[in-house]
Copies of this chain bind each other. A is one copy, B any other.
Amino acid sequence: MASINSIPEKTIERLSEYRRTLLSCHKRGITHIFSHVLAGIHGITAVQVRRDLMLIGFSSDTKKGYDVKTLIDFINGILDSESAMNIAVIGMGHLGRAIAKYLNGKGLKLRVTAAFDIAPDKVDCDIDGIPCYHMDRFEEIVEASDISIVVISSPSRVAPSLVVPIINAGIKGVLNFTSTPLHFPQGIAAENYDITTIFEKVAYFVKESDDMGDKN
């Protein structure tokens, strides 16, 4: 993804992860946390945590560790937009529905507010509280519903045909869960996120460790 500012992509990912840990600490009444504790939870070094927080301009009294609530608010200011962002899901199969339900149950500033499909038993239906429209109406609905991000969970073979409508509709962010990598012009933040890849990767390392075991 093209970064148009000075905070690296990986730091943004980690800030999102730190925040979830901090929110869970806050819930349990923990008021302060040391960088090495936060680092331990995320399997990274304390130096990395301190570097990330320095990058966003956060400093704190190091004797007591970071103030959990203050740090949450600080990360909110970096990651969140003022109003909630609307997301549309293209392809309301099992994966699309799972992602919509998962996101809307998280209490994030991101909400799935529309869905698109072409199956007659889905179009013009309410699916888990989300209105599902025919893909023909994509541009119209995106504009009317102020949608800025789309999730692609359609069949992989359909994915390439979605690029032009997505550009034309003025979408700013794309999460592509299909097996077909898609490319968008600069100005559209796109992430290809094929679940098959991580399964095949883990399976490879499992196989290799089995092979090693056989040799020993």
Q: A181 contacts the other chain (Cβ, under 8 Å)? A: yes
Size of the A side of the interface (Cβ < 8 Å), in residues, is 68
Task: Chain B residues near A21: list those with CB within 8 A.
Answer: 181
A4 to B103 alpha-carbon distance, docked (Å): 35
Task: Chain B residues near A85: list those with CB within 8 A.
Answer: 203, 206-207
In-complex Cβ contact of A203 among B17, B41, B149, B201 (8 A):
B149
In-complex Cβ contact of A41 among B24, B181, B212 (8 A):
B181
Q: Are A210 and B94 in contact (CB under 8 A)?
A: no
A195 to B209 alpha-carbon distance, docked (Å): 27
- Nearest-CB residue, chain B, relative to A19: B200
Task: Chain B residues near A26: list those with CB within 8 A.
Answer: none
Q: A58 contacts the other chain (Cβ, under 8 Å)? A: no
In-complex Cβ contact of A102 among B94, B102, B172, B203 (8 A):
B94
Task: From known contacts A175-B202, A206-B149, infer whether A102 and B95 are also in contact, taking CB-CB under 8 Å.
Answer: yes
A172 to B192 alpha-carbon distance, docked (Å): 27
Task: Chain B residues near A16: list those with CB within 8 A.
Answer: 196-197, 200-201
Task: From known contacts A98-B94, A102-B94, A206-B149, infer whether A110 and B199 are also in contact, taking CB-CB under 8 Å.
Answer: yes
Interface residues of A (CB under 8 A from B): 1, 3-5, 9, 12-13, 16-17, 20-21, 24, 41-43, 78-81, 85, 87, 94-95, 97-99, 101-103, 106, 108-110, 148-149, 156, 172-175, 179-181, 183, 187, 189-210, 212
